[in-house]
Amino acid sequence: MNLNYIVIEGNIGAGKTTLSKMIAKEFNAKLILEQFADNPFLPKFYKEPDKYSFQLELSFLAERYQQLNQELTSRDLFRPFTVADYYFMKSLTFARATLKEDEYNLYRQIFNIIYKTIPKPDLYVYLHVDVQNLMENINQRGRDYEKGISKEYLSKLQEGYFDFFRQQNDISYLIIDTNNMDFVENQKDYAKMKELIFNNEYKPGITRITL
């Protein structure tokens, strides 16, 4: 495929950032990583989600738009393509899982206005990992602010991603089940990931692959 802009996405703990970094390093690609660690509302949200969910989602919406708008409109002539570890639609998925109905309806109106201006990826790769495995990955990396994440929350996020995929058929979505893979430690698994991403043609809509 002629790929200029690739998104590597997934639920919390799926390995999207790791894979994005690996691809960017090997192919000398431009790398866009979500800046979330410095968000002042994130630790507060995990402690008191009902109180801080709207502030958190609005702040992420603004940060993601600013970063993607800046990074994707400035071409780097020395990089063959761009790879990002998130897509703007992530904002809507997380908002759906955290906001009350009236807050979400308002949030979605704002999102829809902004979403039309964001460049769409040539390929959107979603790393599918079962919720139990996600919980284990989250516990292993030991981030304090993630200790309060529940299985129910991860399940809501997962449902939100798939609902969005079904509604948006103008993007090529490649969903890879990575439950039985270790592309970090196993070079063969990493090679399979690269082959799926770079050596195949995908039509707009959903393509599901289990390895």
* Full strand arrangement of the beta sheet holding 123-128: 30-32, 82-84, 5-10, 123-128, 172-177, 205-210
Nearest to 76 by CA among 17, 25, 4, 125: 4
**Is 163 a catalytic site residue?**
no
Give CA–CA dist 99/101, Å, rounded. 6
For the chain, the residue count is: 211
Nearest to 107 by CA among 68, 153, 58, 65: 58
Q: Residues 38, 50, 85, 130: which is the catalytic one? A: 85
Output the pLDDT for position 39: 83
**Do 149 and 12 touch, CB atoms closer than 8 A?**
yes
Domain hosting residue 13, numbered range: 5-210
pTM of the predicted protein model: 0.91
**Do 77 and 69 touch, CB atoms closer than 8 A?**
no
Could you read off the pLDDT of 98-123 as tens digits, one per residue?
Answer: 999 999 999 999 999 999 899 999 99
When divided into structural domains, the chain yields a total of 1
Taking 3-state DSSP, the helix, strand and coil percentages for the chain, each rounded to the nearest 5, stand at 50, 15, 35
CATH code at position 90:
3.40.50.300
Question: pLDDT tens string for the chain (211 positions)?
Answer: 589 999 999 999 999 999 999 999 999 999 999 987 678 888 888 788 889 999 999 999 999 999 999 999 887 888 999 999 999 999 999 999 999 999 999 999 999 999 989 999 999 999 999 999 999 999 998 887 788 889 999 999 999 999 989 988 889 999 999 999 999 999 999 999 999 999 999 999 999 999 8
